[in-house]
Structure 1
Amino acid sequence: MTSITSWTRLEPRARTGDLRPSLEGQVHDPAWMLARQWQLGEFLGDDAGTPVWVRVRGHADRITRYRPGRPAGAGTDYDGATPLEALVEAEPGGPRATSADLRSGAEAGQHLLRLLRSAGLPADAVAEAVGMLLDDFPLGLTGEEGGVDAATLRFLSVLRGRVPDGHALAFSLRASAPTPEEPGWGLPPAAYSVLRSWLAWYDGRHLTAAEGDPAWDARRLEHRFSVGLSEGGTETTLTAPAYQGGTLDWTDFTADGDTGLESPADRESLLSTTFPAPVRFPGMPARRYWEFEDARVDLGGVEAAPSDLARMLVAEFATVYGNDWYLVPLDVPVGSLTTLTSVVVGDTFSSELGGPTLLPAPGAGAGDAHWSVHRLSTGDGGRRTGLFVPPVTVGGLEGEPVEEVLLARDEGANQAWAVERRVPTPVGGSLDRTRTAPTPRPAPAVAGGTAVYRLMSDVPPHWFPLLPREPRPGAYVLRLGHLDGPDGAPLRPLGRLLAPGLPNAYDLFSEEVPREGVTLTRAHQYARTRDGRGVLWTSRRARPGRGESSSGLRFDGLED
């Protein structure tokens, strides 16, 4: 039989719209004061104990595997020493990636020469080793970087033939490292230890990802990666499906089941007994009504519209439920998923009521017991318990962008464009392509006073069209195209953002270029790990654009 439940809720109703007189709490005489205290219930005794101690038990499972990109393969081991966002955002290294960076290659070569000269080797042996390095690893361009500016030519005129290319030497050492037993390079035996120490310095100087296995998804303009851990023999995978770069936090992850990461177990048991403290925050009212408040806090001035749910929740928590919450600190290891197994509370009435109280586990019951924060979502739309603290940096430094590309819509030309605003130079600088004057096309020889027909107007050389394509019905992508220059040769991008090294043409999903546009940047990042080591890497980030752009493209025009 259907039952009907009803209740009556008593709420205060002000006679006027101004709550300030009631909140002032004016005091008159002692008898009036006692009456007001009785009226507000301050003389009423409740059989409610105050928590005295709290014992928390749980375990923390550290992440032990890392896999960039889409789910495929078992990934690599991860020990937590390198910050996770540095490992994710770092660009792949390789000969093609660093061949255009002459300055860092020259600095690495100079450091090797200093190590050789200070190693105590004979002068003739040092001279022989330096000559061999200069001949086999010359500093220069490979011809794949486009036009060479005047600063690069001056740089090469000073250092060419005097310093070896450190990048080329490092890649050769990784491919086949020489040893004194197999002196394939003809160096003195003592020089091989110098090479090994120099290679260790080179690997720790600039963090790079494995070549051909990046976390950056060029088609989605975001990072995707997974980390794995083992919870008592059960594998758990935490996936960041769309990390935009910048600040990495637990909100970027979702919890999945076993996805083949094969993560070894690394569990730490947690046990903490401490004293709880009442939850307080600036602006919160005093615990007792007749206690002097902070004059800067005006609860009567809180204004909230019917749709301001967050503001009303904060005000209700501060005025009604603020003295019911307590804070229990618990130190958890960084880079782990922490799960609580029991929370025991001892209060002032524990001895009379039969002992401490075992609280229900978060999410184990209904109502308030089901509520908790910092819960990861799962692939099937559910939620799982546990607090994940990713191993990230705090307060890192970001340099000026060395490369910047704007992806924008052009409604006038009914076209999307990739505008290469800034590109890196071989000597470590940055070239502003927006200040480069375009080369005008030669005017055709016509009789005076005759109009010239133009199929299309000129577009700046750093604007590249994004042509729509439909690889399958209902799915649209934007493919990076090119225009021809005045000499008829195709204009190609000079940076790395528009040349991601994909096996096929660069296709970008159409929904990734909204009407406001997207700004892509490459910049150097520097941070320190928890043990004080410095980490340097180059990251890519996607930020909102500045609205629509206009290329000035026109078709079927006449010129005098």
Structure 2
Amino acid sequence: MWKRNPAFDPAVVPAEALVESELDDWWSMGRRIRAGQRFAATPAIAGRLEFEFADPPPPYDRFRGYLDGRAIWLARANLAIMESDFGEDRPPVDSPLAWSPAKLNYNAMFESEERPLGVIDHHGGPMDWYSADADAREALGEPDPVPLKPRIPVPLEYPGAPHSRFWEIEDANVDIGGYPPDAAHFATMLLVDLVYSHGDDWFVFPVSGRVGQLVTLRTLSVTDSFGRTYSSDDHEGLRAPEDFSIFKCDGLHDETLVLWPVAESPLESQPLERVQFGVDEHSNALWALERIVDRREVVRGPTDPDDAHPAHPATVPLTNLQGPREYAYAPATGMESRWHPYLLDWSAQDAPAYVQWGLADYSLQVPRPMPHPDAEVLKGDPPSSVHKIAASAMAQGGIELERRWQLARDIAGRPVLWIQRQRRALRNPPARTIRFDVMKETAPPVDA
């Protein structure tokens, strides 16, 4: 997927930056402002509001009215602007987009000499060898083995391990007997038995391997102190176990270890966006609630009436339950902005999907459409299309999506910046109660 471009070398760039990177996420606010200043005197751009920052988030609010270099870059063809006009502020080639708007997760493939490694249904966050599985549909390749120089094994040491030499004083701060074995904790029984019966039977030796490689031990030969050689081809004890493995990736050999660079403790920003999803069984709809958009906590509430869209007259609840009752009709109640409905569509070819719909405020005498979503995670592919979410991607308790800037370093120490989308499960989903064709009880008119 990235092997043809050295800028996206999986042996150098952290896997998170390759898989999670968005299109145009090279454009940080500083780069957008700096690139926009190049065209401040261009007649085709000056004074056009669509190329200016309308309401940038803090602390960039002081740049309101400045030119947005990213907006100019995206419209460069219509403006007859060459890429060379951006100079050093020209963005590099984007990596392929691995985000799936329908499944709300990442899917990517890495090429290898054995089998392609697939990152399937990645929800965002740390990635290591356990995030990838080999594609079993491809034939398992057998690269030419590379012989290693002889190594000298040394006893395995770890905190709490007994010393292997006789009459050697143990560390007083270590007490393996402090782990009480009992039937309820079977792992502690195995630990104590391993330490006391086989604590000095384990040895380690170095194996050369570079980041971005698949390391496989094909054969192993051991020469003891008497000069006798034992090979893994003849002795089962020197072969990898077939019933369990700690670092095994599905589709690869049992003795294969995946090594690739990961983003170690990346710096992350405050959320750029936070959107929560929840299924409302009463309205038979999926609701997407925008909590944070463009680094700001959104303000939710009913639509404000104006002259073109006046509100219905306010009703006064009836307090005298003994007298006659009258009712006033309201087309709808409970409308709030930033709540976006998705209705289940059973006609989808592959599987049922939630399709994004619009909502209008019928609490006004003249209904007014509610604003469209602003969050990037609520846009389809392409962004101008209607957003659809596979029904199988939605958890019962709802999910939450966040977008954040991430900053890490590659193997060469160079900074790597990207925007990550991370998905989490919610304990309680957001649910919106909306009622249509409501009859509200009102007080009867008072006789003069």
- TM-score between both structures, scaled by the size of structure 1: 0.64
The answer as to 2:15 corresponding to 1:84 is: yes
SS at match of 1:558: strand
Which structure 2 segments of 5+ residues have no match? 319-325, 443-448
What corresponds to 2:323 in structure 1? none
Query: Structure 1 residues 395, 332: closer, same or farther in 2, change over 3 A?
Result: same
What corresponds to 1:402 in structure 2? 272
The answer as to 2:314 corresponding to 1:438 is: no
Q: CA RMSD in A?
A: 4.2
What corresponds to 1:528 in structure 2? 409
Distance 1:538 1:469 in 2: 31
Q: Which deviates more, 302-311 or 441-450? A: 441-450
Q: Kindly name which structure, 1 or 2, has the bigger radius of gyration based on alpha carbons.
A: 1
The answer as to 2:246 corresponding to 1:246 is: no
Q: Which deviates more, 281-290 or 530-539? A: 281-290
Report the CA distance between 1:494 and its aligned residue: 1.1
Query: Structure 1 residues 509, 271: closer, same or farther in 2, change over 3 A?
Result: same
What corresponds to 2:379 in structure 1? 499
Please state which structure has a larger fraction of its residues in helix.
1
What corresponds to 2:95 in structure 1? 209
- Counterpart contact for 1:412–1:550, Cα < 8 Å: no
Distance 1:364 1:238 in 2: 29
Query: Structure 1 residues 267, 88: closer, same or farther in 2, change over 3 A?
Result: farther
- Counterpart contact for 1:400–1:523, Cα < 8 Å: yes
Q: 2:72 aligns with which of 162, 165, 168?
A: 168
Amino acid at match of 1:534: P
Amino acid at match of 1:209: S
Report the CA distance between 1:385 and its aligned residue: 3.8
Query: Structure 1 residues 227, 477: closer, same or farther in 2, change over 3 A?
Result: same
Listed one character per residue, the Cα deviations across residues 200-220 of structure 1 (whole Å, up to 9, x for unaligned) are: xx43xxx8434xxx2011121
Q: 1:300 aligns with which of 169, 173, 177?
A: 177
SS at match of 1:471: coil
Listed one character per residue, the Cα deviations across residues 167-189 of structure 1 (whole Å, up to 9, x for unaligned) are: 5248749x99869xxxxxxxxxx
Query: Structure 1 residues 361, 91: closer, same or farther in 2, change over 3 A?
Result: farther
Report the CA distance between 1:500 and its aligned residue: 3.0
Distance 2:249 2:348 in 1: 34
- Counterpart contact for 1:479–1:505, Cα < 8 Å: yes
Distance 1:558 1:170 in 2: 51
Amino acid at match of 2:200: N
Query: Structure 1 residues 482, 365: closer, same or farther in 2, change over 3 A?
Result: farther
Report the CA distance between 1:396 and its aligned residue: 1.4
Query: Structure 1 residues 365, 297: closer, same or farther in 2, change over 3 A?
Result: closer
> Number of residues paired by the alignment?
420
Distance 2:189 2:303 in 1: 61
Amino acid at match of 1:89: E
Mapping of 1:229-240 within 5 angstroms?
A: 229-230=112-113, 236-240=115-119
SS at match of 2:124: coil
Listed one character per residue, the Cα deviations across residues 135-174 of structure 1 (whole Å, up to 9, x for unaligned) are: 24448553999x96898996344x3xxx57355248749x
The answer as to 2:36 corresponding to 1:155 is: no
Report the CA distance between 1:478 and its aligned residue: 1.8
Q: 1:218 aligns with which of 101, 104, 118?
A: 101
Distance 2:119 2:406 in 1: 20
- Counterpart contact for 1:137–1:165, Cα < 8 Å: no
Distance 2:240 2:55 in 1: 68
Query: Structure 1 residues 415, 369: closer, same or farther in 2, change over 3 A?
Result: closer
Mapping of 1:16-165 within 5 angstroms?
A: 65-66=1-2, 79=9, 80-93=11-24, 104-110=31-37, 131=41, 134-138=42-46, 141-142=49-50, 155-157=63-65, 159=66, 165=69
Distance 1:361 1:551 in 2: 67
Amino acid at match of 1:481: W
Amino acid at match of 1:470: W
- Counterpart contact for 2:213–2:258, Cα < 8 Å: yes
- Counterpart contact for 2:240–2:254, Cα < 8 Å: no
What corresponds to 1:481 in structure 2? 357
The answer as to 2:248 corresponding to 1:375 is: yes
Listed one character per residue, the Cα deviations across residues 81-105 of structure 1 (whole Å, up to 9, x for unaligned) are: 33222021111239xx97xx87642
- Counterpart contact for 1:419–1:462, Cα < 8 Å: yes
Report the CA distance between 1:289 and its aligned residue: 8.2
Amino acid at match of 1:83: P
Listed one character per residue, the Cα deviations across residues 506-533 of structure 1 (whole Å, up to 9, x for unaligned) are: 2212232223221101110111111111
What corresponds to 2:200 in structure 1? 323
What corresponds to 1:51 in structure 2? none
What corresponds to 1:182 in structure 2? none
Q: 1:393 aligns with which of 260, 263, 283?
A: 263
Amino acid at match of 1:444: H
Report the CA distance between 1:550 and its aligned residue: 3.5
SS at match of 1:107: helix
What corresponds to 2:286 in structure 1? 416
Distance 1:493 1:468 in 2: 18
Listed one character per residue, the Cα deviations across residues 210-235 of structure 1 (whole Å, up to 9, x for unaligned) are: 4xxx201112121111111225xxxx
- Counterpart contact for 1:404–1:521, Cα < 8 Å: yes
- Counterpart contact for 1:106–1:165, Cα < 8 Å: yes
Listed one character per residue, the Cα deviations across residues 470-510 of structure 1 (whole Å, up to 9, x for unaligned) are: 13699432222221145522431011110133475322122
What corresponds to 2:445 in structure 1? none
What corresponds to 1:512 in structure 2? 393
Amino acid at match of 1:542: R
Distance 1:346 1:86 in 2: 44
What corresponds to 2:321 in structure 1? none
Listed one character per residue, the Cα deviations across residues 420-457 of structure 1 (whole Å, up to 9, x for unaligned) are: 11111xxxxx2211x34432564424898753233432
Percent identity among equivalent residues? 25
- Counterpart contact for 1:464–1:481, Cα < 8 Å: yes
Amino acid at match of 1:218: P
What corresponds to 1:125 in structure 2? none
Amino acid at match of 2:22: E
Distance 1:392 1:491 in 2: 40
- Counterpart contact for 2:232–2:238, Cα < 8 Å: no
Which structure 1 segments of 5+ residues have no match? 1-64, 68-74, 114-129, 180-191, 425-429
Listed one character per residue, the Cα deviations across residues 258-293 of structure 1 (whole Å, up to 9, x for unaligned) are: 769xx9x99894624332121122123343687544
- Counterpart contact for 1:407–1:417, Cα < 8 Å: yes
- Counterpart contact for 2:231–2:238, Cα < 8 Å: no
SS at match of 2:125: coil
Distance 2:208 2:89 in 1: 39
